[in-house]
Chain A
Amino acid sequence: MTELATMDFHPRPQAGDAKPWAFPAPKRGALDNGLTVLRCHRPGQQVVAVEVLLDAPLDAEPAGLDGVATIMARAFSEGTDKHSAEDFAAELERAGATLDAHADHPGVRLSLEVPASRLAKGLGLIADALRAPAFADSEVERLVNNRLDEIPHELANPSRRAAKELSKELFPADSRMSRPRQGTEETVAAIDSAAVRAFYEKHVRPATATAVVVGDLTGIDLDALLADTLGAWTGSAAEPRPVPPVTADDTGRVVIVDRPGAVQTQLLIGRIGPDRHDRVWPAQVLGTYCLGGTLTSRLDRVLREEKGYTYGVRAFGQVLRSAPDGTGAAMLAISGSVDTPNTGPALEDLWTVLRTLAAEGLTDAERDVAVQNLVGVAPLKYETAAAVASTLADQVEQHLPDDYQATLYRQLAATGTVEATAAAVSAFPVDRLVTVLVGDAAQIKAPVEALGIGEVTVVSAE
C-alpha cells in the first residue's frame, strides 16, 4: 500500500558554479630559540587554535616506563613556576581556553583553543607550561594514580579493548607499538616526577618543536606575542634520533577477547600498509573510502543497509608514523560492532565484500562519487581554525611539505578507478588480515572457525 503525494514535483536541480576554495597555505618561520612557527589567518574564526608539537615520541620512553610521555603531557597543565596546579587550570578557564595534551607514537602534542581576544593570555600559559613545568611530586603522583584508575575503564570498553589486542598481535613484542600508548598498570606504577622530568629534559626543547597558530589574527601582532611567550622558552640543540622501521605480522588469524554475555561483538580487522610518503596514498584513501568510508560504501551497503547486522562498519587508514625514508606505516583497518548471533554471518559477508572487490574491482561511478565527496567536503571540513591547525600539525609531524593537503586534493581528483581498486585490494588482502573480536566466545567461536579466515584463539578480557 503506498499513498500518493499531493505536492508539486520538480526535477532534481543542477549544481551552480563552484566557488574557488583551496586548503590554506600557512606562513612558515622560526623564533630565535629555534622554535618553528606556522601561522595561518582565517577570517571570522574567533576561536584561535594553537598546536605545539614536541619531538618526544613513545619510542623514546625508557624501558619499563611506558606511559611517561603521557604523564608528562598531562603534567604540563598541572602547574608552572608561576602557578600552582589549581591556579593554572583556573587561569586557563578564566581565559575561556581549553588545553589538551596527549602522547602518541610520533610525539607529544598540545592543543590550545582560546578566543582571539585572549590569545596573549593563552599563549602565555602554554609557554609557561613548556618552559617551566612544575612536575611537583604530589601532582605527578596524582596523575599516575589517576591513570591507573583509568586503565580498567579502558579495558571494559569494547573498542578500546580491541585496539589494545590488535596492537599486541600485529607488532613484535619488542616494538613500542605492540604496547598500550599510555602504558600498562605495571609501567605506569613505576613513573614518578623524577622520571617525568628526565624525559622532559631529554626530549623537550624549542629547537625540535613546532607551533601552529590558526584563526582570525586581525589586529593581533603575533610576532610580538610569540616573542614574549613561546620565544622565552630556551633549550639546547638536539641530535636527530634514529627511529626503527615499523614492521608487523599480518598472517591471517582471529583472536577472540572473551566477554561472556556481550550482546554485540566488536570487530577490529587490520594490518599495516603504506603511509603518506608512499605514492599509493591518494589511491589508498580513495579505495578505502569506497570500501567503508560511509553508510553508502560497500561494507555498510551490505552489513547495515541490507542485513541490519550493525549500526555501522568503517574502513580507514590511520598514520602510525610517517617518514620520508619509508620507515613509517599506517594502520589499515575495518571496525564496527555486530550483534552476537549474527557475528558469523556478518564476517562471512564482510569477507565476501572483500573478495568481490578483488575479483570485480570498483566501478567508475563509485570512484566518481568518492572523489566528489573527499574533495568536495574540504571547505566544510576546514571551516574551523582547529581543523586547519590539526591538519597542518599532522603534516609537520609526518614530515610532509606545508602544501601537502592542497596537493592531495589534486591527486585524489586525478586518481582513476583502476588505481583505486588496486590500492584497496592490496590494502585489505583477504588472507593477510588480523581479526580481533571482543565478544562472547561461547557463542561466536564455532561460527567464526567455520569461516576459514584463520586460526582462532580465545583470550581472557582481563
Chain B
Amino acid sequence: MPMGHTATAQAGSGGLTATEHRLANGLRVVLSEDHLTPVAAVCLWYDVGSRHEVKGRTGLAHLFEHLMFQGSAQVKGNGHFELVQGAGGSLNGTTSFERTNYFETMPAHELELALWLEADRMGSLLTALDDESMENQRDVVKNERRQRYDNVPYGTAFEKLTALMYPEGHPYHHTPIGSMADLDAATLEDARAFFRTYYAPNNAVLSVVGDIDPEQTLAWVEKYFGSIPGHDGKPAPRDGSLPEIIGEQLREVVEEEVPARALMAAYRLPHDGTRACDAVDLALTVLGGGESSRLYNRLVRRDRTAVAAGFGLLRLAGAPSLGWLDVKTSGDVEVPVIETAIDEELARFAEEGPTAEEMERAQAQLEREWLDRLGTVAGRADELCRYAVLFGDPQLALTAVQRVLEITPEEVQEVAKARLRPDNRAVLVYEPTAPETPADQDENEEAAR
C-alpha cells in the first residue's frame, strides 16, 4: 500500500499534522490524528459542483447529492441515514459551485461503518437508483428551493447577484439550487450519466480526522474503496476565468414584497488561493466584517440610515471570488443615500488603507474563525479536503491562518484600490411593493395596510 510522507507540524499549523496517501484507483486519502475526544470525522469531496452542469440541467449536481442518500447495493432505502444515526453519528452532504461533499462524524469505534457506507455508494449507487427515489427527491429539492429561497424575503438575492456578476453562459452564472424548470426536466438517465461521469475514486478526496489509528484506517480504506474502478471520462469544467474588472456598473432593481429597501452588491474579486484573496478578505473585514467595521460604524451607528450593513466573501477557485455587500435600510431612507455613503467609505479606504489597529482587529477575527473551523474534527476534515481538491495540497489547510497573518496593510490597500470600485460591481436594489390584497378576507383597513 502506498504510504505517503508523515508530516511533521509546520510553522503556523497550531501543531496539527496530516498525512497523504493515494490508492491505485486514484482515490486520494488524507489522515489527521487527534486523540482528545473519541470521535472521528469522515469527509469525502467529489470534484463536481454546479459549475459542471450544462444548460437546461441546472440543479442536477445538488439533486444528485440527494440521490446519494437513497440507497446503494448493500444499503437499503434510507439505510445510510439510519445506520449512521443508529451508531451515534451525524451526517449530511452539501453542494456548492465547485464541489459536492459528504460527511459523517462518528464515535471513534464506529469509523469503519462510515467508510463502508461511503464506499458502497461510490461503487454501486446505480444498482439501487430508481424512478421512485428520483421523483421523490425531485419534489423534496423543489420544496427545499421554496423554503430556503422562494418563500422568504430577499431569498433569491444571491441567485440574482450571481446571475448579474457572472455572464450568461459562464459556469457560475447559476447557483447550485438550480431552476424549477430544470429540476422538472432532469431525468433518471441524466442522474445516471452524472454518476458515471463524476463519481469515481480518482475524482474524489477522502479525509479522516480524529481519534484514529492511521495504519488501521488506511487498511480499511484500501479494503472498502480499493476495488472501485477509476475512470477518466470526466470532461474539464468550462473555463471560469474573467477579466479582473467588470468594466461597468451592472444594476438591477427588484420591486417585490419585502419589508424594507435593500442595497446589495457583488464585487469581482481575486481567486481563492492567492495572496490577493487573503488581502481582500482582510479589506472586507475592515470595511464590513463586524460591529466595529467602517460601514457598520458609518451607516448603523453614525448616519443611522441602515439596520444592518456588512460584507461577506465567497472564496472561489475556478472563477473570480465574490464580495457580497448587504445593507438593509432603516425607516424611509432612500437607497441613493446609502450608496453615496458606501462609495465615500470605499474611496476613503482605497486612499488611506487600513490603520494598524484595523489590521490587528481584522486579523484577530479571521484567526478566530480559523480556530473555530479547525477546532472540530469535522471542520478540519472538510478543510483538508478543500485544499486537496481545489489546490492539490491538503497541508495548505493547516497553514491558511498563517498566510492571512502575513498580509501587509499595503497589500490590503492595493487590492481594495484595484477591485472595490463602482465599475467592478453588480448592484441589486430592492424596492418594496405593497402586499397583495388578501382575496377571501373581510376588507378592513388593518388588512389593507
Contact = CB atoms under 8 A, between A and B. Distances in A.
Given A19-B108, A43-B36, A337-B143, A376 B74 contact: no
Nearest to B291: A89
A21 B290 contact: no
Q: Size range of the interface on A?
A: 35 or more
B194 interface: no
B85 A90 contact: no
Contacts, number: 261
Interface string B371-391: 110011100000000000000
A296 B81 contact: yes
B127 A85 contact: no
Contacts of A461: 435
A339 B143 contact: yes
Interface in A366-380: 368-369, 372-373, 375-380
B87 A383 contact: no
Contact of B364 (A89, A96, A145, A462): A96
A2 B110 contact: no
A442 B259 contact: no
Contacts of A380: 39, 88-90, 105-107
B138 interface: yes
B89 to A, nearest CB: 7
B341 interface: no
A90 B361 contact: yes
Contacts of A462: 435, 446-447, 449
Given A19-B38, A21-B37, A7 B140 contact: no
Interface stretch (B2-10, B162-170, B221-229, B265-273): B221-229
B109 A338 contact: no
Contacts of B328: 149, 153
Contact of B37 (A97, A146, A307, A379): A379
A45 interface: yes
A32 interface: no
A339 B151 CA distance: 10
B297 A442 contact: no
Contact of A7 (B112, B227, B376, B437): B227
B441 A6 contact: no
A380 B90 CA distance: 8
A407 interface: no
Contacts of A149: 260, 307, 328, 330-331
A93 B282 CA distance: 13
Interface string A449-461: 0000000001011
Interface string A127-159: 000000000000000100110011011011110
Contact of B88 (A115, A375, A384): A375
Contacts of A264: 143, 146-147, 150-151
B364 A93 contact: yes
Contacts of A305: 77-78, 136, 140
Which of A6, A13, A46, A441 has the most chain B CB within a 10 Å cutoff? A13
A13 to B, nearest CB: 4
Interface string A6-43: 11111011011111110000000000000000000001
Interface string B410-447: 00000000000000000000000001111111000011
Nearest to A261: B436
Contact of A96 (B129, B224, B365, B446): B365
Interface in B263-322: 290-292, 297, 300-301, 304, 307
A142 B146 contact: no
B196 to A, nearest CB: 9
Nearest to B306: A149
Contact of B147 (A261, A294, A311): A311
Contact of A337 (B112, B147, B292, B375): B147
B215 interface: no
A233 B440 CA distance: 58
Contacts of A296: 78, 81-82, 85
B244 interface: no
B253 interface: no
Contacts of A17: 109
B437 A260 contact: yes
Given A309-B143, A460-B446, A145 B304 contact: yes
Contact of A8 (B142, B227, B291, B435): B227
Count chain B CB atoms within 10 A of each CB in A5, A20, A46, A152 and give the residue with the most: A5
A28 B322 CA distance: 48
Interface string A76-101: 01000000011001101111111000
Interface in A284-337: 294-296, 301, 304-311, 337
A222 interface: no
Interface in B140-172: 140-144, 146-148, 150-153
Query: In the complex, which of the residues B82, B220, B368, B375 has the most CB atoms of chain A within 10 Å of its own CB atom?
Result: B368
B249 to A, nearest CB: 27
Contacts of B364: 93-96
A195 interface: no
A433 interface: no
A15 B87 contact: yes
A262 B147 CA distance: 10
A47 interface: yes
Nearest to A9: B74
B78 A376 contact: no
B393 interface: no
B17 interface: no
Contacts of B344: none
B367 interface: yes
A308 to B, nearest CB: 3
B224 A16 contact: no
Contacts of A311: 140-141, 143-144, 147-148
B137 interface: yes
B152 A46 contact: no
A4 interface: yes
Contact of B87 (A86, A98, A306, A376): A376
Contacts of B105: 380
27 contacts: A5-B73, A7-B227, A8-B227, A13-B116, A16-B111, A45-B375, A46-B375, A93-B290, A93-B292, A93-B365, A150-B307, A153-B153, A153-B260, A156-B153, A156-B258, A260-B438, A260-B439, A263-B151, A295-B78, A296-B78, A307-B139, A308-B136, A311-B141, A339-B143, A380-B39, A383-B377, A442-B440
Given A2-B129, A379-B38, A380-B105, 18 more contacts: A2-B128, A5-B73, A7-B227, A9-B124, A13-B116, A45-B375, A90-B361, A94-B360, A96-B367, A258-B441, A264-B151, A305-B136, A308-B139, A311-B141, A372-B85, A373-B88, A380-B106, A460-B438
Interface of B: 14, 34, 36-39, 73-74, 77-78, 81-83, 85-90, 105-113, 116, 119-120, 123-124, 126-130, 135-144, 146-148, 150-153, 211, 220, 223-224, 226-229, 257-260, 290-292, 297, 300-301, 304, 307, 328, 330-331, 357, 360-361, 364-365, 367-368, 371-372, 375-377, 435-441, 446-447, 449
Q: Which 6 A-B pairs have the closest CB atoms?
A: A376-B88, A308-B139, A5-B124, A7-B123, A96-B368, A96-B364
